[in-house]
A = this chain, B = another copy of it.
Amino acid sequence: MTIEAKFRKLGTDNAPGQEVRQTAAGLEALMRGEALEGRPVDFSHGDVDAHEPTPGAFDLFSAGVASGGVQAYTEYRGDLGIRDLLASRLAAFTGAPVDARDGLIITPGTQGALFLAVAATVARGDKVAIVQPDYFANRKLVEFFEGEMVPVQLDYVSADETRAGLDLTGLEDAFKAGARVFLFSNPNNPAGVVYSAEEIGQIAALAARYGATVIADQLYSRLRYAGASYTHLRAEAAVDAENVVTIMGPSKTESLSGYRLGVAFGSRAIIARMEKLQAIVSLRAAGYSQAVLRGWFDEAPGWMEDRIARHQAIRDELLRVLRGCEGVFARTPQAGSYLFPRLPKLAVAPAEFVKILRLQAGVVVTPGTEFSPHTADSVRLNFSQDHEAAVAAAQRIVALVERYRA
């Protein structure tokens, strides 16, 4: 494969935040009516001005800078003192032990953790089970390392509200077909659904039966809404702990994305490979930033409950607005801050409608095709936004759905 061919698959034109590089060429002929007034909202990522970083984060950073060289030059896997703190907190959160010395790595964001985890488990030609829909980078990572993606469907639309809707037969078929790695996000990105205890138990049992490695992206697992229960795969009795890597980070719920921090924990063998690779990818997560992790899972009492309540209120009002539009389907997210409404049939193509939303409504959403070839009629909204601006933006989306309805 030539280098050009390899990179052709890594399209980022529709990736969140990259819209500034798009042109509007050719869209004028399709557009109907005037632009809608209103404060622009970028639903492609959370608004850390509306939901500010955890109090105290900057002070921890400052203390890191003040401590100088020891914080600037940590082990590639991150400062041991910080890993010690995190290991016990993550063990308590997930319900299974975390080895601070050998079973935890600090990475530049959870994206960094995902990249290293896939690189450390997928060789050329290896089959990897990937959920559809799921976080768009999962597919790209498998393709970059020349693995073979074996899709497993998540029927979040038809599943009853107690399940995410994973096709467990499909997952077993993927393992039967030779997949030895399963990569998935829980809660699901983009659909916001949480895997049930039964689904996680089945995933654990299947992984054990087929000796598969599971990479569980639990980035949003702290932001859980009323009534949602959550099962940590790594704490399942059936799993071999050396076959599981769990990924988390403070970029989302805690709004610490500007510091670029993530962690991966679990399998010592895989974490060891991840560190070897991190040494040539970026050396380490920014040293001073690592100090911010001292405050992670140590927020003031009530802070997390308040953050969740605010997000739940936005979620509920956006759902009301979107469901008020005929033909829109939107399942209630149980965790995280993503909504993934399916839109009715429109007179323009989905990719065009996404651009029209930006140009005529000042609303940026992520096209459903980023997550699955089967969800072109859906768009993803990160609703971690200013409440009123988000509701007004959702109303503009509905107005344009009506305007462009087929």
List residues of A whose CB falls within 8 A of some B CB: 1-3, 6-7, 10-12, 15, 17-18, 20-21, 45, 47-49, 52-53, 58, 61-62, 64-65, 68-69, 71-76, 80, 107-109, 111-112, 114-115, 120-124, 126, 137, 140-141, 144, 257-260, 273, 275-277, 279-289
Contacts and interface: CB of A to CB of B under 8 A. Distances in A.
A362 B380 CA distance: 55
A139 to B, nearest CB: 10
B76 A3 contact: no
A402 to B, nearest CB: 30
Contacts of A137: 279-280
Nearest to A276: B10
Given A17-B73, A48-B73, A115-B281, 16 more contacts: A7-B276, A10-B280, A11-B276, A12-B76, A17-B74, A20-B75, A48-B69, A65-B258, A72-B257, A73-B258, A107-B282, A111-B282, A112-B281, A137-B280, A144-B280, A258-B287
Given A73-B17, A75-B20, A108 B111 contact: no
Contacts of A64: 258
A141 B282 CA distance: 12
A49 B75 contact: no
A5 to B, nearest CB: 9
A259 B7 CA distance: 29
A78 to B, nearest CB: 11
B48 A58 contact: no
B45 A68 contact: no
A285 B168 CA distance: 38
Given A48-B68, A48-B69, A68-B48, A76 B282 contact: no
22 contacts: A1-B124, A3-B126, A7-B273, A7-B277, A10-B273, A10-B279, A12-B275, A12-B279, A17-B76, A21-B75, A47-B69, A48-B68, A58-B62, A61-B61, A65-B258, A72-B258, A108-B108, A115-B280, A115-B282, A260-B282, A282-B282, A289-B289
Nearest to A281: B115
B258 A3 contact: no
Contacts of A126: 3
Contacts of A123: 1-3, 6
